[in-house]
Amino acid sequence: MCNNKSYSPIPKEVDIMLFKKYHIICCLLLLFSCSSLPQKLEKVYIEKLKLEVDRFEVTIGQFREFIITNNYQTTADSFAWSGVFNLDTNSWDSIHHANWEKPLGKKEEDNNLPVTQVSYYDACAYCKWKNGRLPTAKEWDIIAGEEIIKGNVWEGPFPVFDSGQDGYFKSIAPIGQFSPNENNIHDLFGNVWEWTSTPSSTNDKAMMIKGGSFLCDISYCSGYIPSKYQTTLKDSGLNHLGFRCVY
Ligand SMILES: [Ca+2]
């Protein structure tokens, strides 16, 4: 399955022609969705920064190549656990064997999902391998631009109810499912937070992260708005935190 988008159920009593039309539209939507997924690393040149930047967040598939090529062990794998948000208890749980490939500690997730459960050190190592680096928070803001292109966020009172009107119910979306921003870059606002190389001003063990995630309740969370940020410990692996590189 190329993505986990859900479509409205077909009514029990339905005209056969209407059903056929519905079926064809669904197939076309799925085909478009599959064919539009990027198959290789894509970069965009940002004139203001004189830098190239990943058009999409780094995916599980891309990170897999890094792991295999370098026989790399992530911080989460060295701990043998990582942080997963528990929607029932509204808290972060330490889940055994949650990692880049099994972000919830259960099954391997799709290659086209943004990679999560990566520490700041893991993200730096990946970007270095690609002859790049993480953006600073200031660079990230310039990449994000002025216009808010809201992507996959939490729609409803968190963590009780998510309407999933953006197509993704309590879950991460594959990359590239929402419109790009003014710089033709996708998935900056929502879906998963992104590491930056800017240290926290109050904790020397933490770094600034940008962009918000699918857990951002739009009624109070402003993480998906440019210029807003949070800070996270460098060795944190979380199931809503990923990254992209600049070159
Ligand atoms: Ca959503």
pLDDT digit string (tens) for 176-189? 999 999 999 999 99
What is the CA(192)–ligand 1 centre distance, in A? 11
What is the CA(167)–ligand 1 centre distance, in A? 6
- 246 CB contacts (<8 Å, ≥6 apart)? 49, 51, 52, 53, 54, 127, 132, 133, 134, 135, 139, 143
Q: What is the pLDDT of residue 201?
A: 94
Give residue 239's pLDDT band: very low, low, confident or very high (50, 70, 90).
Answer: very high
Q: What is the pLDDT of residue 223?
A: 80
| 106: number of Cβ within 10 Å | 11
CA 196 to chain centre: 14
What is the CA(94)–ligand 1 centre distance, in A? 23
Q: Per-residue DSSP letters for 12-30?
A: SS--HHHHHHHHHHHHHHH
Which residues, chain by chain, have CB under 5 Å from ion ligand 1? 152, 166, 168
Amino acid symbol at 57 = E
* Mean pLDDT computed over every residue of the chain: 85
What is the CA(17)–ligand 1 centre distance, in A? 32
What is the CA(171)–ligand 1 centre distance, in A? 7
Q: Which residues pair with 133 in a beta bridge?
A: 246
Q: What is the pLDDT of residue 41?
A: 59
- Cis peptide preceding 11, ω within 30 of 0: no
Q: How far apart are CA 64 and CA 156, in angstroms?
A: 34
Per-residue tokens: 175: 């990359």
For residue 3, pLDDT over 80 is answered with no
Query: Does residue 109 contact residue 102 with C-beta atoms inside 8 Å?
Result: yes
The 10s digit of each residue's pLDDT in 116-137 is 999 999 999 999 999 999 999 9
Q: How far apart are CA 208 and CA 153, in angstroms?
A: 20
Query: Does CATH place domain 43-242 in 3.90.1150.10?
Result: no
Percentage of the chain beyond pLDDT 70 is: 83
pTM across the whole model: 0.82
Give residue 48's pLDDT band: very low, low, confident or very high (50, 70, 90).
Answer: very high
